[in-house]
Amino acid sequence: MIRMEVIQHAPTSPDEIVFRFPQDGTTDINMGAQLIVQENQEAVFFRDGKALDTFGPGRHTLATMNLPLITRVLTIPWEKSPFQANVVFVNKKTFINRKWGTKEPVLFRDKELSLVRLRSFGAYSMRVNNSQVFVNEIVGGQGLYGTEELEDFYRDVIAARLADVLGENLKTIFDLPQFYDELATLMKARLAADFNKHGVELVDFVISAVTPPDEVLAKMDERAGMGAVGDLNAYMKFKAAQAMQDAAKNTSGGVAGAGVGMGAGVGLGMVMPQMLREAMAGGQGAGPMVPCPKCNAQVPAGSKFCPTCGQTMPTNMGTMACPFCGKPVSASAKFCPECGKALNTSCPTCGKPVAAGAKFCPECGGKIG
């Protein structure tokens, strides 16, 4: 009684792509043997190292009607004759969620940040679309082949193509969020030829992220913070007002209080002169101004201290109107800074200075002239 020979294989791993029967060398296969190919499989029949035919899913009888090429290499006259051959089972399913990422940063010339090092990662899915080409080009004589070997190879290919696509289609990394889909589509089209030449189809390609180094991200965060602040001058004024409030509340003194006071003083020293100058410029009608004897800044008449340099203002720096041009001048000035006319004279009774044109001394009431 002749036992029917059955050749079949079920994948033992979710990442298995190719299984060779037998795994090393060849074996005796009888004409009439049954070859069973599972769904999402193809079987490539080899004899003497040459692929003679490819079988799809189903049951196949290895006979001359199914192997027309074999009649040219076999001259054995009986139907059940044995011959040395092997069968390579190829898994045709789509392998999803294959990870890719750049081992080394990709250099990118950014129009806003100059030269930037970028890292990227994502996922793709693939499947074998030409079993004979894949076995001959990639697998060779290996008995078992999985996706891990392919991932290592394609990772470098993807990194090389990514550098080209980014350089040709992206101006600045600030535009990345709106171009992920477009870049992924371009990458898939660019990689199609690299996959197809080995009998593999790139089904999907996804870019999860493209990121610069941590130090660049920190600078980008600072820039975003400045944008959120808006008007920096108004923001500094607001912080100065807050510091004044905190300093007013901190009446306990001590080391902690001194630290707060120092911080508030630094902030106030930067913005208070500007704030005072702006306030004085906007309210010039409120009263006359007199020059500071140290820094020559304009100070409201009657002020005890200069708001710009802190100089103590003389107590006799009251003002009066020039009797000739009407401009405000210091009461101690001898000449008007506007018209140059002499202003002061002395009271003959008490010796105090009296404004030019005065008929009576404001101190003793004595008559002048």
pLDDT in tens, 67-107: 544 443 444 444 445 667 889 999 999 999 999 998 888 88
Collapse the DSSP code of 235 into the 3-class scheme (helix H, G, I; strand E, B; otherwise coil) and give the result: helix
Mark which of 91, 111, 130 sits at the end of a domain.
91
CB of 108 closer than 8 Å to CB of 150: no
Residues 77 and 117 in one domain: no
The overall average pLDDT reported for the chain is: 77
Report pLDDT for 222: 72
Band (pLDDT 50/70/90 cuts) for residue 297 is confident
249 or 51, greater pLDDT:
51
Residues 81 and 189 in one domain: no
Residues 109 and 31 in one domain: no
CA dihedral angle for residue 125, residue 131, residue 132, residue 137, rounded to 10 degrees: 20
CB of 202 closer than 8 Å to CB of 154: no
Residue 124 CA to residue 158 CA, distance in Å, equals: 10
Question: What value does the mean pLDDT take over residues 123-146?
Answer: 91
pLDDT at 325 over 90: no
Percent of the chain with pLDDT over 70: 72
In a domain, 104, yes or no: yes
* Residue span of the structural domain in which 339 resides: 318-369
Percent of the chain with pLDDT over 90: 25
Question: Residue type for 127, please?
Answer: R
Question: What value does the mean pLDDT take over residues 21-42?
Answer: 86
Report pLDDT for 352: 73
Give the range among 112-116, 169-173, 245-249, 312-316 with minimum mean pLDDT.
Answer: 312-316
In a domain, 298, yes or no: no
pLDDT at 365 over 80: no
Q: Point out which residues pair with 205 in neighbouring strands.
A: 124
CATH of the domain at 120: 3.30.479.30
Residues 111 and 185 in one domain: yes
pLDDT at 211 over 80: yes
* Residues 6 or more apart in contact with residue 49 via CB below 8 angstroms: none
The pLDDT tens digits of the residues spanning 137-165 come to: 899 888 889 998 889 889 999 999 998 99
Report pLDDT for 73: 40
Band (pLDDT 50/70/90 cuts) for residue 232 is low
Mark which of 198, 217, 236 sits at the end of a domain.
217
In a domain, 348, yes or no: yes
Report pLDDT for 32: 79
